[in-house]
A and B are shown apart, each in its own frame.
Chain A
Amino acid sequence: MSAVIVPGAIPTAATPRRRRRWNASLIVGLVMTGAFLVVAVLSLVWTPADPNQVAPRDRLLPFGSAGHLLGTDALGRDVASALMVGARTSIIVAAGAALLGLVLGTITGLIATSARPYVNETVMRGADILLSIPGVVFALVLAATIGAGVGSTIFALSVFFTPSFTRVVRAAALRVLEEDFVTAAQLYGRKRLFILARHVVPNIFSVMIVQFTLYFAVGILTEAGLSYLGVGVTRPDVSWGILLKEAQETVGVASPLAIWPGLAIVFAVLGLNILGDGLRDVLDPRLRGRKS
């Protein structure tokens, strides 16, 4: 094993970099994520049937039945409609929590770049504490106190997301704050808030976006898990996690019922992860050359 590590940045700075605007991951990710977003939006105006409509005579219809393209569940409820509304719920919960985490995490992360060490320590240790709370336990407690549902699931998720964003934003912000243009702004007498808002945030924006898509994916998975355990979303709200839970009882008899929500989750999470990767490649900070 050679002991010598190749230095990272080889292309030189005299040549303005042509950033690749598109790559395969970005396209695939956008298509997959787009598909699932479109389905979710569509569910606002149309679904084949009401996913909560119980029809005991039509229970456990198989795939391809008339009027129920993906079949029905043990209570006769249409699976396709449930999947569509489930997409909508997943987005509301996962994206909602990720967005909340982004906003709160960014604010706290930027606060933690202050010149006063005790401020930074307080915020970061607070983040550590929040991160050490197991999500499931917290959701359980919430479900027990304020009841399960979309709201409490979003809350539970954001308790985990926020400190993660805090760390990521703080690290990225610290790197930007070392740059000379920040020093220059300070020398012009710009106040800290201005520098954070006008110089730091635009330069860490790409990091924030990539993190958001990745936590969006995590949110979908976690929501599914929480709802499966009964402490997330509950009927009459429909989510993929609930479908999984309900399908558990019919595994031997009508296995496809468990497969559809599972596939939907895989598709959405994969799409978001691929999108996140693609975004990261495109938005990557420009490699720095040695001499100009």
Chain B
Amino acid sequence: MSELVLDVRDLVVRRDDLVAVRGVNLQVRAGQRVGVVGESGAGKSLTALAVMGLLQPGWRTEGQVLHDGVDLTKISDKAFSGRRGRTLSMVFQDPLSALNPTQRVGAQITGVLRRHTKVSREQARKAALDLLVQMRLPRPEQMLRAYPHELSGGQRQRIMIAIALACYPQLIIADEPTTALDVTVQKQVLRLLDGAVKERGSALLMITHDLPVIAAMCDHVLVMYGGRVVEEGPVGTVFRTPRHPYTKGLLESQPTLDNVELDGTNRLPSIPGSVPPLHAMPSGCAFRTRCGRADEQCATVPTLEGDGSRAACWHPEPVASTAGAR
């Protein structure tokens, strides 16, 4: 059992009386790949931002985020920025707004290196060059001097990944890293991220609404809905035999080549209704307004139960069911 690089305990994220994350427990071990899947309003992005200490003013946290021996929610901003980029780093969804538009790309990479490690300018430059090569970017020497707006979306995202990897962090958090990219570039970027993370032995926390991405990149998955974790477990187990009706609904409603009759005769089941707004989240099990099996018992919040994989549901799918991706 390798050590924990991230231990999130009972995390609550709120703004005044609006609670977006309601007690999330999440653990990432060294070298592990954990995925957090959920749609907008589920609280997954806020969870990531809370871990990174990047919540906007007005948002408060409760609970603990343990990493590298400290509780990240309790340390000062200054102490935190000493860690960001070094022991944990983040890849954001939109590379255009996450990279500094006025700074050359090479400088952004060497900047991180020189801030956190004691390398000389020459060593930093060489390391940056190596990273660009590892990211399979064309003409790396020239690329160092390029500005973000001169690059394509896929290239920018690879730069962001390079920056995130530069200091060999224990944990990389990727928040929808390929959502803003053209579909033909997605696989390339994921491939690179996968290889680089593996090579450095970093752990990965991947946050996305895109189930196939989680299936491709992660070994462990948490499904979030209404600010809570509703199911978690090894990816294979959860995706092949989902126990929570929401997970099952998600898997069945994606039009993918797996479930589309290519003559268009079938019908994609869809989850009725829509995600309730934060201020009108149902009490008890948040999913009960859209669930076919809800009853009075669901007015109480269910806890995560099960072995192998755990689901927070009073009426979970029977374990023997093969409903799911197939």
Contacts and interface: CB of A to CB of B under 8 A. Distances in A.
Interface stretch (B41-49, B117-125, B186-194): B41-49
B94 A7 contact: yes
A15 B39 CA distance: 12
Interface string B259-283: 0000000000000001101110000
A290 B92 CA distance: 12
A31 interface: no
A4 B90 contact: yes
A2 B81 contact: yes
Interface stretch (B22-30, B95-103, B134-142, B246-254): B95-103
A3 B279 contact: no
Contacts, number: 73
A222 B115 CA distance: 48
Interface string B146-188: 0000000000000010010000000000001001000000000
Interface in A112-126: none
A2 B84 CA distance: 8
A91 B183 CA distance: 59
Contacts of B81: 2
Interface string B75-103: 00000010011000010111001111001
A10 B46 contact: yes
A16 interface: yes
A2 B85 contact: yes
Interface in A39-69: none
A290 B85 contact: no
A8 B277 CA distance: 21
B82 to A, nearest CB: 10
A2 B115 contact: yes
A2 B112 contact: yes
Contacts of A1: 111, 115
A14 B273 CA distance: 13
A10 B176 CA distance: 13
Contact of A7 (B93, B163, B179): B93
A18 B18 contact: yes
A183 interface: no
A8 B92 CA distance: 11
Contacts of B163: 3-4
Given A14-B39, A291-B39, A3 B108 contact: yes
B209 interface: yes
A3 B54 contact: no
A14 B40 CA distance: 6
B50 to A, nearest CB: 11
Contacts of B109: 3
B209 A291 contact: yes
Interface residues of B, number: 38
A285 to B, nearest CB: 16
A10 B160 contact: no
B170 to A, nearest CB: 17
Contacts of A289: 40
A1 B107 CA distance: 11
B279 A15 contact: yes
Contacts of B94: 7
B45 A12 contact: yes
Contacts of B41: 12, 14-15
A5 B97 contact: yes
B99 A3 contact: yes
A6 B84 contact: no
B111 A3 contact: yes
A145 interface: no
A225 B93 CA distance: 51
A3 B111 CA distance: 7
B56 interface: yes
Contact of A4 (B92, B275, B277): B92
A35 interface: no
A222 to B, nearest CB: 35
Given A291-B39, A292-B40, A10 B45 contact: yes
Contacts of A291: 39-40, 179, 209
Interface in A255-292: 289-292
A13 interface: yes
A1 B103 CA distance: 12
B90 A14 contact: no
Contact of B100 (A5, A7, A13, A292): A5
Contacts of B49: 10
A5 B99 contact: yes
Contacts of A10: 45-46, 49, 55-56
A291 B41 CA distance: 9
A1 B94 CA distance: 20
Contacts of B275: 14
Contact of B40 (A5, A8, A16, A290): A290
A292 B84 CA distance: 29
A4 B40 contact: no
Given A10-B45, A291-B39, A15 B277 contact: yes
A18 B111 CA distance: 39
Residue of B40, B85, B94, B112 with highest tally of chain A CB at under 10 A: B40
Interface of A: 1-8, 10, 12-16, 18, 289-292
16 contacts: A2-B81, A2-B112, A3-B99, A3-B100, A4-B99, A5-B100, A7-B94, A7-B97, A13-B40, A14-B274, A14-B275, A14-B277, A15-B278, A16-B279, A290-B179, A291-B209
Q: Which 5 pairs from chain A and chain B are nearest by CB?
A: A3-B108, A14-B41, A12-B40, A14-B40, A15-B278
